[in-house]
Structure 1
């Protein structure tokens, strides 16, 4: 699946790496748990459903310096969530072909963070899948995954993160927040989910899009911005970042790209009292 649109003069496309549907949609109680601050009875009362739709929406943008992609999905031959998942993900390269992109076209890979569902698509075969591309990740992200990692929720991601760092080698460039990586592509602070978790702002001719990575997984986190997940390594920081991102998105009327929302993950945010609401644009 792919969806093409533009941000000013920046030609963009969301390409899906997959989106498991019923009966393989993940359970809400796996994402929002008592340990992450969401008691079971609160979740049941707020949700009115048992599952969420988890997309893997990779954002391509054609810049004056070449084609870039923000995050790369789980990649092929992935069994980490169980055997059922393998045919449902790893669709990025097929989607790229349908959209008219080739692996050798890619000039840059921008990682919001290095969890396996954002980075493995670039390295799953044991080699860098985009041989002409440089890569970008926040300096704190690279330092974290290169050192000792003790957090239990981080363990499934260590192999992909370290392999990404190894395979890109000197072509993996650390950035700080507020840096312009490519013309019209700037990084925005969103730490907490991981130490270097970042949002990515596209801007051209007055149009703007904010790619929010894993700032939220489901619209429930807009109506309940203080809900964290088991994968937020610093839950208080993730909540602070989520509120800041949502406030900015609402106040500045930004188009949002949400990696895990249903394809293509594009929408806008509005304030609703102390909370927010999600309005998909397509």
Structure 2
């Protein structure tokens, strides 16, 4: 963990903030017409939040949400997970609410998107195109997409409708995941709940000739690098953004709401290697707490930005302050 800690958290993690704090945006901030439309249909407004990391603007987006049944968390009984949700005042009849956060990174020259969401294949999702509209962007303006792993809730937007939805983007996925999710033998032996991920993975490979299967930690563009977080899937990765002494690390499915970061022995039904996933959490989360790292997590409540802190010997999630400040 020494090298990961040194590289991921070097230089501190203070927010380079817009207006002195994280800036929430509901719909396009500069468009009065769009704001009026959003006011008329508040239930469909897609939230956005922006922060600065040096020269980068990072925009948190969301494709929507789904509730995961309480029995999807091996290591605890359904009753224990539900009680934990009640203690945190987040319990819902249908389970633990997972938000599907994506992150758009811009530096004035390139637009890099981290994951594309389930795009309607799970729960109440499919809102990412609306978020792009709120920003005045089209999907063909995205220069690169980094897929943290090949589960349907992270890559569905790439292939929804059976087409290449990011036609001008270079696509980066860890080679281990590409190998695993396109292996016919592994698909044949996989449970039903993973079959959609196998099918979508084959479509990604077929529809994206510019797919780059990457090996290990590397820099995608200056200041945007891959971090190896294997365990959840064979090629599960994170993305580190750093510039001007500031940094943010997107940890994808390293963290799940209600159960993490306090209980690293609690897994999730979809994890390919539970022991490796636990070992990675055991190494990574205490280091993140020690360094005070700013983290972005796919499934934590929007915008998924926070820190791991040690509270009387127990790790907990502390939401990053994104109140408007002047």
Equivalent residue, structure 1, for 2:76: 38
Deviation at 1:65, TM superposition (A): 5.2
**Structure 1 65/194 Cα, relative in aligned 2: closer, same or farther at 3 Å?**
farther
Query: Which deviates the most, 61-70 or 3-12?
Result: 61-70
Q: Give 5+ residue unaligned stretches, structure 1.
A: none
Distance in 1 (alpha carbons) for counterparts of 2:98 and 2:172: 25
Equivalent residue, structure 1, for 2:41: none
Please tell me whether residue 140 in structure 1 is matched to residue 176 in structure 2.
yes
Distance in 2 (alpha carbons) for counterparts of 1:174 and 1:64: 26
1:138-186 CA-to-partner distances (Å, cap 9, x unmatched) read: 01011111212223253231111111121112x1101122211111111
Distance in 1 (alpha carbons) for counterparts of 2:78 and 2:251: 27
Q: Give 5+ residue unaligned stretches, structure 2.
A: 1-46
Equivalent residue, structure 2, for 1:191: 230
Distance in 2 (alpha carbons) for counterparts of 1:254 and 1:133: 29
Alignment check: 8 A CA contact 1:63 1:184 kept: no
Equivalent residue, structure 2, for 1:12: 58
Deviation at 1:47, TM superposition (A): 3.7
Distance in 1 (alpha carbons) for counterparts of 2:307 and 2:182: 36
Deviation at 1:45, TM superposition (A): 4.8
Alignment check: 8 A CA contact 2:249 2:296 kept: yes
Q: Secondary structure at the match of 1:210?
A: strand
Equivalent residue, structure 2, for 1:166: 206
TM-score between the two structures when normalised by the length of structure 2? 0.76
Distance in 2 (alpha carbons) for counterparts of 1:120 and 1:128: 11
Alignment check: 8 A CA contact 1:65 1:182 kept: no
Please tell me whether residue 222 in structure 1 is matched to residue 261 in structure 2.
yes
Instruction: Figure out how many residues of one structure are paired with residues of the other and give that number.
Output: 265
Equivalent residue, structure 2, for 1:259: 298
Q: Which of 42, 58, 82 is equivalent to 2:102? A: 58
Structure with greater Cα Rg: 2
Q: Secondary structure at the match of 2:275?
A: helix
Distance in 2 (alpha carbons) for counterparts of 1:16 and 1:125: 19
Query: Which deviates the most, 41-50 or 146-155?
Result: 41-50
Query: Which deviates the most, 268-277 or 177-186?
Result: 268-277
Please tell me whether residue 233 in structure 1 is matched to residue 233 in structure 2.
no
Query: Which deviates the most, 58-67 or 175-184?
Result: 58-67
TM-score between the two structures when normalised by the length of structure 1? 0.88
Q: Secondary structure at the match of 2:316?
A: strand
Equivalent residue, structure 2, for 1:154: 194
**Structure 1 182/30 Cα, relative in aligned 2: closer, same or farther at 3 Å?**
farther
